[in-house]
Amino acid sequence: MKTIVEAKQIKKVYGAKGNVFSALEDIDLTVMEGEFVGIMGPSGAGKSTLLNILATIDEPTAGDIVVDGINLTKMNEERLSAFRRDKLGFLFQDYNLLDTLTVKENIILPLALAKLNVKELERRADEVADKFGIRDILNKYPYQISGGQKQRTAASRAIISKPNLILADEPTGALDSKSATDLLESLKDLNEQDKATILMVTHDAYAASYCNRVLFIKDGKIFTELVKGKRSRKEFFNKVLDVLSALGGGANDVI
């Protein structure tokens, strides 16, 4: 199996002299192709910092990151942008849809930016829209649809360019439980059927229970790791809860 993400000794330090805050300390992380990995931890543990660094939105203070065989630390801004466009898919808590574009236009945006030809672009748009069941809202604008529909739109956009890695930052954070479950089911299908590699930051144990593997971070360091293995989702959920209570502090907001 191929290694998709290989991060070594990642450090992230904020602030200047005298007032230094270390957000990440020597984090090592490996994600294999086809994995669905969750990252959990209390607020301020450094989950989002880690995700942002993997997403190339933020730069590590030290350490090496290799995604799909490409070393990110050696790339300039322009190449990083192209890398994000071609290799990564994003899913955020606040959807990050462009208000001025229709659902369809939002979805195809990464392909339009990559200047793909129109026929191929339309075909793929229909394909992902079917997958997430949003075909009938394709011509609506974000202000006209619900939160769940928005997140499914964002998910469609995240996968349309067939990225090597999908990064999700609290994707269920703003959704009601029904919409959250729908989205998680879709992500699971994506992972199982299309072999998509997903890395998801969450502080919701229910969401984490959909992963194959969950990493727990505390104070910028990896605290422990939990693998689902042959367990049922229900069992895995309870396991996650156990670790969370051991972790303590700010991670008690379970459903």
Cβ proximity to another protein, 19 vs 76, nearer residue: 76
Number of C-beta neighbours around residue 53 at 10 A: 24
User: By C-beta, is 98 or 227 nearer to another protein?
Assistant: 98
Q: The tokens 């659902």 sit on which residue?
A: 103
Q: How far is the CB of 37 from another protein (least distance, A)?
A: 20
CB contact at 8 A, 241 and 40: no
The residues that touch another protein, with contacts defined as CB under 8 A, are: 55, 57, 77-78, 80-86, 88, 90, 92, 96-101, 105, 108-113, 115, 117-118, 121-122, 141, 143, 157
CA–CA dist 82, 31 (Å, integer): 22
In whole angstroms, how close is the CB of 114 to another protein at the nearest point?
8
Q: Which is nearer to another protein, 83 or 223 (CB)?
A: 83
Tally of CB atoms within 10 A around 107: 30
Q: Which is nearer to another protein, 18 or 143 (CB)?
A: 143
State the minimum distance, in angstroms, from the CB of residue 158 to another protein: 9
DSSP code for 150: H
What six digits make up the tokens of 230?
Answer: 């042959």
| Closer Cβ to another protein, 84 or 231, answer by number | 84
Alpha helix ranges (H) inside the chain: 47-54, 77-87, 103-113, 118-131, 147-160, 177-193, 205-208, 233-247
Question: Residue 180 corresponds to which amino acid?
Answer: A
Q: Shortest distance, CB of residue 113 to another protein, whole angstroms?
A: 6
DSSP state, 142?
A: G
CB of 254 to another protein, least distance (A): 29
